[in-house]
Amino acid sequence: MTYQEATTYLFESAPLFQNIGAGAYKEGLENTHLLDAHFGHPHRYFRTIHVAGTNGKGSVSHTLAAILQSAGYRTGLYTSPHLVDFRERIRVNGEMIPRQRVVDFVEQERDFFEPLHPSFFELATALAFKYFQEAQVDVAVIEVGLGGRLDCTNIIRPDLSIVTNISFDHVQFLGSTLPQIATEKAGIIKSGIPVVIGETNGHEDVRNVFLRKAQEVGTQVNFADEMGEILSATPDKDGGMTYQTQHHGILKAQLGGLYQYANTATILAAVDELRNIGYAISDGQLQEGFLHVCDLTGLMGRWQKLHQEPDVICDTGHNVAGFQYTIQQLESRCHGRLHIIIGMVSDKDVSTILKLLPKNATYYFTQASVKRAMPADEIATKAQEAGLKGKTYKKVVTAYRAAMKNATPEDLIFVGGSNFIVADMLKSIL
C-alpha cells in the first residue's frame, strides 16, 4: 500500500468531516475509548495541553508548540483540518508524521478498527496519540476537533486547558446560543487543571458558564482578555505584528492579522500558567516561538502572504466572527483596489458574511473541490442580493489567474471564505 492509497482509504472508508460535513460527525466517545484501550492508552505517556474554541485554536496551538520547541521540549502538535497533506495534522517538533507510519497504521490496524465503523477524526486522533508515544514527546499540544465535551480528544488529562473564544459556528452540533456553545467548549475543563479563557467579548452569560464549570470541578479559571497584558499592537510591513506587553517586553510575531491580538493575549496567559506549574520557558524562548511560529511548526493559511506587487493574502477565517476581523484588516492594508476571491461551504452563515463584505471590491466567486462547497453561481446570487458585484469561476486557481490579470501592483488580492478555498489555492502554487 502506498501513502496515497492509505490516505484515500482513510478519507473514503471513514468519512472526512471537512469534505462532507454533518454526515461524518459521530457523537460520543465509545469508539475513542475502544481505540485508546487497543493502543494501550498512549496519551498517558506524555504531557498535554488542550486547546478548544470557535476561532483561533490553530494559531494558539501552533504558537504554543513553537514556544515549547524553542524551550527545548520535544513537542507533539495535533491540529485540524489539514490544507494540503493529511500529515500536517500530526507533527513532532514541526516535522510531519512519516508517510510510512500512516501506511503501517492502516495496514496493521484495519482489521481492528473496521468493525467499529469509526469516524475519520477518531482514527486520526488514535494515530496521533500513538505516534506521539512512539516519538517520545515530552508534551503535546492537542487541538479540539469540534466542540469539546464529546470531542474524541477529550480523553486526555492535560496540564492546562484553553478555550480561545466563543462565537457561532457548527450550531447544528453545539447549540444555537452562545451559552450553549460555551457549555460544550467548557466540557474540556477538568478537576484541578488550570484553565485559560481567551475572550468572552463582554458576554456575561458566557463568562458565567466557565465560572460555574470551574467551580463545579474545583479549579481556577483565568480570563486573558481581563488581564490587560498587551499594551499595544502594531502591524509590521512584512505582514507580522509587534506587541508591547506589560511583563514580557516587546514581542515581534510572525503571524499577522488583527485577530491575532486576542490570540496573543491568550497565549501569554497560557505561558504564565505553564510557568506556574513548572514549565521552564524564558522570555527569549517565548519571543523565539512568536517570531518563528510558521518556520517551527509549518503553519499555513493565517493571513499568509503569497505574492508581492500585487500583494496576495490568504486566510482561513470562515465564520462571522472571523470575517469581522478580516474586513478590518483588508480595509487598513489596501492602498489600491481590493480584489476578493471567495468561496464558502453550504453549512455556514453565508448571507450574513456576504453582507459584511465591502461593496467597492471586485469579486471572484468560486468553489472549492469538496462536496460541501457551495456552487459559485449560488454564492454569486446571494452576493448580488448583498450588493456585491463580480464574476464566477469554477476553480480557485482560475479565479486567481483572473484576479492577477486584472490587478495592478498597488492592488490587494484576498483569497478566503473557507479552509478549502485556501487549501485549493495553496495546492495550486506549492
pLDDT in tens, 355-394: 989 999 999 999 999 888 999 999 999 999 999 999 999 9
End-to-end CA distance of the chain: 25
Give me the pLDDT at residue 21, please: 45
Q: Are 83 and 301 within 8 A, CB to CB?
A: yes
**14 — pLDDT class (breaks 50, 70, 90):** low
Report the CATH fold assignment for 304-429. Answer: Protein-Tyrosine Phosphatase; Chain A (3.90.190)
Residue-level pLDDT at 15: 55
Of the ranges 7-21, 47-61, 83-97, which one carries the lowest mean pLDDT score?
7-21
Check pLDDT > 60 for residue 189: yes
Task: Please name the residues in contact with 376: beta carbons below 8 A apart, sequence gap of 6 or more.
Answer: 343, 365, 366, 367, 392, 393, 394
The three-state secondary structure class of 189 is: coil
Query: What pLDDT score was predicted for residue 197?
Result: 97
- CB of 412 closer than 8 Å to CB of 334: yes
Among 164-173, 267-276, 296-305, 388-397, the minimum mean pLDDT is found in: 164-173
Any idea which of 21-25, 63-67, 211-215 has the lowest mean pLDDT?
A: 21-25
Overall average pLDDT of the 195-216 stretch: 92
- Does residue 419 or residue 72 have the better pLDDT? 72
- For residues 413 and 169, the model is more confident at 413
Percent of the chain with pLDDT over 90: 74
State residue 126's pLDDT score.
97
For residue 172, is pLDDT > 70? no
Is the confidence at residue 325, as pLDDT, over 90?
no
Average pLDDT (332-338) is: 83
State the virtual CA torsion across 419, 425, 426, 430 in degrees, nearest 10: 170
- For residues 127 and 105, the answer to whether their CB atoms sit within 8 Å is yes
Residues 6+ apart with CB under 8 A from 396: 341, 343, 366, 367, 368, 415, 421, 424, 425, 428
The alpha carbon of residue 60 and the mean position of all alpha carbons in its chain are separated, in whole angstroms, by 8
13-42: average pLDDT: 73
The CATH code belonging to domain 3-297 is 3.40.1190.10
Q: Which amino acid is at 293?
A: V
| Exposure b/e, 141-158, CB count within 10 A at least 16 = b | bbbbbbbbbbbbbbbbeb
In 324-419, beta strands by DSSP E: 338-342, 362-365, 390-392, 412-416
Nearest to 425 by CA among 332, 340, 361: 340
Q: How confident is the model at residue 34 (pLDDT cuts 50, 70, 90)?
A: very high
CB within 8 Å of 68: residues ≥ 6 apart: 75, 138, 139, 141, 279, 281, 289
Nearest to 38 by CA among 129, 121, 147: 129
What pLDDT shows up at residue 24? 43
Residue 385 CB coordination number (10 Å)? 11
Separation of alpha carbons 321 and 340, rounded Å: 18
Looking at the predicted structure, is the pLDDT value of residue 408 above 70?
yes
C-alpha cell at 208: 458565567
Residue labelled with grid coordinates 462565537? 167
Residue 18 has a pLDDT of 46
Alpha helices in 147-203 (DSSP H): 171-174, 178-185
- Given its phi and psi angles, is residue 43 left (phi above 0), alpha (psi -120 to 50 degrees) or beta? alpha
pTM: 0.92
The domain spans of the chain are 3-297, 304-429
pLDDT in tens, 295-307: 999 999 988 999 9
